[in-house]
Structure 1
Amino acid sequence: MSVSPSQDQAPPSGDWRRPAIVVVGLVALFVAMLSAFALPPLHLKPRDIPLAVAGPSGPAEQLRHQLQEQQPGAFDISMVGNAQEAKDRILDRDVYGAIVTDGTGTTVLVASAASPAVANTLKTLATQLGEAQGAAVPVDDVRPLPSDDPTGAGLAAGALPLALGGWIGAVVLLAAVPRPRQRAVAAFGFAISGALALTALMQYGFGSLDGNYWLTSAGAAFGIAATAWTILGLRTALGNAGLGLGAVTLIFLGNPLSGLNSAPELLPSGWGTLGQLLPPGATGTLLRSLAFFDGAGSARPLTVLACWLAGGLALYVVGLRRARNRVVAPTSADSENRAVKESAPAV
């Protein structure tokens, strides 16, 4: 009488390769996570920050050359005619700040709402200019953050909930709502209700936002929908591998590269641009534009999120059709076999 091996028995020595591979993979994952979250903050510095210089051509050009020589590559400088034009460009989100000079005095314009980190960089620059000129250089914050959150911590902290919340919401919908049509309706319902709740908490609970509540909520809903539908589409089309791919894209890359804690121009070259092409970064930029600048500068993030949303919807439809074909094909084969048996003459 043969005895089948028990499941509790130790596996053969050759089977230890799988646990070893899993351990190595987990270690590599932890290293990648640490690198993704730690490297960008460790290498923050100004890189081609859009900056305007305003004033008469002679003093303005002299100041531009001075900045380029003292901090090469730090600023992408554009020349404007006067202080009002510089302020308009800041509020249109074309530049982060401006230096206004008339040859005898200098003023630095900043917008803390655009990026507290860049505003602090420009304030430091004002101090340096004042030391060089022998007189204090005043700083004018043309678009400050709300008084209840002067450092912008509330909006910066919203990057992870937007990324992780959309991922978790999609996973829950996949597990709890089996019907595809109901799941699709629930996904949009989750995006809208989640955005209303998130915006209300940040604006009325934390005081981190002070713009139009409904407009900002619409932007947040667009961002959550893009994130959730990306996961729904990847999981439906690629299976469990899609969940892993979505986590890497949205959480490991999207969150640390979003620039919400600093600015895309402060991140290492290329990484800031990549972050703005991912849903967390695009959503953060869109919320800043809608909440603080009346929608100025929102065209690019809206386009990015629309592409992610459309891609997720397309993958979802493809995955559903593929699954439906897998079900229909065996059923058709069974019907043909049954018809052949029924038509066969009796022996």
Structure 2
Amino acid sequence: MAVQAPPAATTPPSSWPTVAGAVVLLTAITSVLLAAFAWPSVRSSLHDVPIAVAGSATAVERVGAALDRRLPGGFETTEVADTAAAERLIRDREVYGAIDVSSGTPRVIIASAAGAAVAQTLQSVATALSQAQTQGTGTAVAVRDLVALPADDPRGAGLAAGALPLVMGGLLTALLLTRLVRGAARRVAGALAFAITGGLAVAAILQFWLGALNGAYWVNSGAVALTVAAISLSILGLESLLGYVGLGLGAVTMMLIGNPLSGTSTAPEMLPGWSGAFGQLLPPGAGGQLLRSTAFFDGRGATHSVIVLVAWFAFGAVLCLAGGLRARRAAGVAAGSQSSREQR
């Protein structure tokens, strides 16, 4: 005769305070996510955007005063003697564009590859200045795009959209390697290998499929690889020392702070307050600017970005080394304790 098994004990439902606590936590997380991603966009405006003004001292002073009246604090002007000097500053990524009044009538030189939003704003401001100079006759100002975006992506949407996958790639690399791979050296090797293959893949998609990048493919791949390596190694290093707390800290730094403050979709100078400059000290912002330099400016203006990424790369490597040494030391102590117990 079969004996019926007793019914399994049911787990009692959670208490209502537990439910309330979960709701409060979810509300806080959602609010933080919204603030992190929406605040830079909603408060986006021009803040000391560097541009050149070419012409005589009197004309430059007049243009600078007009810019200050229309957008107080929006532009930081650099006086140059002629058109050639203005173009040189644009190509070297020292300014975003120029207003050329050396011939009398204002002309605008923009570089949409440096930032489409800044180029559009500069164009509209220069048009207003030209109309004011001609007593509102509506004369169109001459505009020349010195460093243009690719014809297949004239708004720069591909480069802007590629910022988040780079961060996600570095974050997922650290997460998967900590779960699937044991040993600090093997994790670092895996992160570096993925940085290379991921750089090749991402650059190929952006450049050959979407047509969002110009320049040398191998150099663009290297820029992407360095960005992914800096993100993944720094998160791996934090995890090796602090465990899941370090993993969470790295994810928050790169995803909730670094990505919104990267300025890749607009320009760092358009972000509110100090956030744009701070974002350039984190891998997402530095990586976006580096890829823009390699793709459209022959690498000019990339020095700061490379230094930031290499510093984060080295920081992560040192943390991984320290974490590996600590784990090896702990394993040796545990083995010694086990051996002493066996001898007893």
Same fold (TM over 0.5): yes
Corresponding letter in the other structure for 2:153: D
Q: Is the 8 A contact 1:59 1:103 kept in 2?
A: no
- Cα distance, 1:128 vs. partner? 0.5
- Cα distance, 1:150 vs. partner? 0.2
What does 1:70-219 align with in structure 2 at a 5 Å threshold?
70-102=70-102, 104-134=104-134, 135-219=139-223
- Cα distance, 1:24 vs. partner? 2.1
Corresponding letter in the other structure for 1:199: A
Q: Which residue of 1 aligns with 2:4?
A: none
Are the structure 2 counterparts of residues 222 and 131 from structure 1 closer, same or farther at C-alpha, using a change threshold of 3 Å?
A: same
2:286 match: secondary structure: helix
* Percent identity between the two aligned chains: 44
Q: Is the 8 A contact 1:126 1:138 kept in 2?
A: no
2:51 match: secondary structure: strand
2:246 match: secondary structure: helix
Are the structure 2 counterparts of residues 148 and 264 from structure 1 closer, same or farther at C-alpha, using a change threshold of 3 Å?
A: same
Are the structure 2 counterparts of residues 25 and 77 from structure 1 closer, same or farther at C-alpha, using a change threshold of 3 Å?
A: same
228, 246, 268: which one aligns with 1:242? 246
Query: Bigger CA drift: 184-193 or 152-161?
Result: 184-193
In structure 2, how many angstroms separate the alpha carbons of the residues matched to 1:330 and 1:9? Answer: 40
Are the structure 2 counterparts of residues 205 and 185 from structure 1 closer, same or farther at C-alpha, using a change threshold of 3 Å?
A: same
Q: Which residue of 1 aligns with 2:12?
A: 9
Once the two structures are superposed, what CA deviation does each residue of 1:105-153 show, in whole Å capped at 9, x if it has no partner? 1101100000000000011112201210223221111000000000000
1:257 match: secondary structure: coil
Corresponding letter in the other structure for 2:109: L
In structure 2, how many angstroms separate the alpha carbons of the residues matched to 1:325 and 1:123? Answer: 62
Q: Which residue of 2 aligns with 1:225?
A: 229
Q: Is the 8 A contact 2:152 2:212 kept in 1?
A: yes
In structure 2, how many angstroms separate the alpha carbons of the residues matched to 1:20 and 1:319? Answer: 38
TM-score, length-scaled by structure 1: 0.92
Total equivalences in the alignment: 333
Q: Which residue of 1 aligns with 2:271?
A: 267
Once the two structures are superposed, what CA deviation does each residue of 1:132-183 show, in whole Å capped at 9, x if it has no partner? 0223221111000000000000000001100011101221122222243332
What does 1:31-42 align with in structure 2 at a 5 Å threshold?
31-42=31-42
In structure 1, how many angstroms separate the alpha carbons of the residues matched to 2:17 and 2:244? Answer: 23
- Cα distance, 1:317 vs. partner? 1.4
- Cα distance, 1:29 vs. partner? 1.1
Q: Which residue of 2 aligns with 1:258?
A: 262
Q: Gaps (5+ residues) in structure 2?
A: 1-7
1:113 match: secondary structure: helix
1:188 match: secondary structure: helix
- Cα distance, 1:63 vs. partner? 1.5
Q: Is the 8 A contact 2:233 2:316 kept in 1?
A: yes
Once the two structures are superposed, what CA deviation does each residue of 1:265-301 show, in whole Å capped at 9, x if it has no partner? 1110111112111111110000001110011110111
Q: Which residue of 1 aligns with 2:281?
A: 277
- Cα distance, 1:19 vs. partner? 4.9
- Cα distance, 1:6 vs. partner? 5.2
1:44 match: secondary structure: coil
Query: Bigger CA drift: 103-112 or 281-290?
Result: 103-112
